[in-house]
Structure 1
């Protein structure tokens, strides 16, 4: 078999494999709820021995748009890396941290080292929107 013929067969084989590959696109929905939102900083006085490391092991850096969630919200599907929108604030936040077990239906916005900004935020009730995966088999929101 000639070299050119072998190349032709190989090209057809790879084209067939690529053509058979089914593209899987995950579908998401946004759910909402009202929670109490406070703010926190990556300081020893507010967190653990390693204030830049989250409970999930992520490294925090000032300027990141992330939040910590109470553990009851994790059970509702607001887990690590879930995208969050907060009523009245532009942008999308990512869940990177967990709060102490004593808190319920709460969220903390990460505000880097800016203590004044965190104090200015204070404590607010806000509607949040969180992104969850839709089960394509049962068409249910997970």
Structure 2
């Protein structure tokens, strides 16, 4: 009787091991086609003298608060596919930024990186050329 019990346990262990090993790992699927361009990047803060009388509300109507990873884009970039809430990777930054604001029509191939109320960080960033990658949903 003990040997039958051991055999059943052994078979059960083999079956459980087989099913456990058969599971496939879920692969993360990238839902975006990534496009890369070079742009001029500056920085801005949510302060009335840099924007308007309601500096925490974007041109798209989103509310900004310090700590958010957001950018504003020039209107020519909107036409290239950097629409509202498009994910953007910026050279030199680890975070993925979202397009939450649009800039005055006079700017071309330009992004503005949101830096909350940290004026010193924005000034230290200055203006420079960077490579960005932006995601457009795959069809």
1:26: how far off?
8.7
TM-score, with length taken from structure 1? 0.76
Q: For residue 133 of structure 2, what is the aligned residue in structure 1? A: 129
Greater C-alpha radius of gyration: 2
Matched, 1:71 2:88: no
Matched, 1:45 2:52: no
Q: For residue 83 of structure 1, what is the aligned residue in structure 2? A: 87
Provide structure 2 residue ranges, at least 5 long, that are not aligned to the other structure: 1-28
Moved over 2 A (4+): none
Describe the superposition over 1:46-100 as per-residue Cα deviations: whole angstroms up to 9, x where unpaired. 0011000000000000000000000000000000000000011111000000000
Q: For residue 8 of structure 1, what is the aligned residue in structure 2? A: none
| SS of aligned partner of 1:52 | coil
1:123: how far off?
0.3
Q: For residue 117 of structure 1, what is the aligned residue in structure 2? A: 121
| SS of aligned partner of 2:111 | strand
Matched, 1:98 2:75: no
Please provide the CA RMSD for this pair: 1.3
TM-score, with length taken from structure 2? 0.77
The number of residue pairs the alignment matches comes to 111
* 1:32 aligned residue (32, 36, 53): 36
- Taking the aligned partners of 1:62 and 1:26, their CA distance within structure 2 comes to 28
Provide structure 1 residue ranges, at least 5 long, that are not aligned to the other structure: 1-24, 136-142
